[in-house]
Structure 1
């Protein structure tokens, strides 16, 4: 058994993080005590919200501390157990982050069923991104049959699931993404009704209007910025906006300033609500059951972009802000 590799936050980034933001160290693997297990990591997750935790500011989760391991979703195999809850060979999921081994207390992780779907899906469509899509769309967006749903960041881990759930609910679905390849995937594989490349359009607001001849009833916002400004101009009366992310502003060094939306919200009686997945923590079982059932019924599809190698985790994280992934971005350690 080799040493434990860990990735630490070396400095707080100003603007876009770079490789100097992170530091890879090796430490001794700790042996488990009573009620503990030793986990060998198989997959780690990289997610946009992690950028916010690199800033020393109050938020819905505590900021990362300098020279500490970057916490986040991880899946691993139990290689040694001194817990009655877990046996050697069990596959578990937790939030212990970017490290190749982890000594966990038995209540820090949970066992996952590797027979339902590939284990990686528990960090994607059956995990945090899938649940985020489920609750953000159905509880806030509340799409009705025949309504029009627009999704920014539509080819990402969350957006791709949002669109498919909207289709299950009988909505017309329009995705906004940054490459023709992604938009082809949205239309041909996920059966979105239309897809718009925001990087090549000459007038995004007009293209949204053409794709949404009856206006926009639900907007699932993963991006913010100018893309959202263009969607807002096409909202119907009583539209609902679910604010999941604002990745366009995560690396800005100054204030994110744009058109004011208050007048639109008033004139069109629009509901706009931000959320985090933790808001629905008491209903995770409901969401997980629904997503698993749709997956087994072939009503949901998923794509994963998987990078190989522990040392490539920082590069994979930076790829999130370059749009280099389709579906969930993972690193196989």
Structure 2
């Protein structure tokens, strides 16, 4: 694909040429374990661009793709307004909920030509082992979410022209690594956005090339394939010298992250989840907020805030928050040995 704007040589045969709220209330659980009706985290409009740490934005867990798109794009807009034009975003991904094989051996593709983010009957899931199609199934869902986020982010582009979205898959030389690049092109080049979808450590050189050409334009990374937490190899690869280089060679992400940090990349929005005490837990974080932890109620209709921390909470931290709120194992609640959440 040839697109006017940026030129990126990948070092392979091919080269890349690119151009760079809905209301939802979330219940907060009191320390005694009862619902506190006086606490209603309601998002009416995105936070102002001058939001200070002393006036932190309300955080909630989106229940639909459209809600997540609005929440994510609002965080990106606010970060960009503060000069953060190199952004890392991690989100849940949409899956079709209108088939009877969800989470089983086969499920229908969430992407359909006659559907949009506004009418998709979807559920939002973490990027875990339940995606039987692997990295390419994740890419299809992430690509859909990326397009909707970029459309929402660029809705106020200068000239009143809806930006054109273009996908570049030449980054994925094997065709099965689940990596891509989405670019918006509007009336003015200054409004163009480049978003790498599921970039890997091997993509960092391409990210550097695009970033160096983008100037003050936004370059984003959506759902990078490296883990958000460090293991021993990752920590070793952050060190200087031969030992750090060797650890990076073995797969440690420290060297790659250091290169991204030098370019100014920072995390501006995170929405992740996993299972703790048998129930679904969601963690949400903005660049200007703490890390907020929510637990899903037993009806599966909403999420209850159970705590927060200035740094990303570990699994043990989350388990302790649930214990302090009196939230027992889900199976005990299911069979009536403990009160419902």
> TM tier, shorter chain?
under 0.3
Instruction: Give the TM-score taking structure 1 as reference length.
Output: 0.26
Instruction: Give the TM-score taking structure 2 as reference length.
Output: 0.25
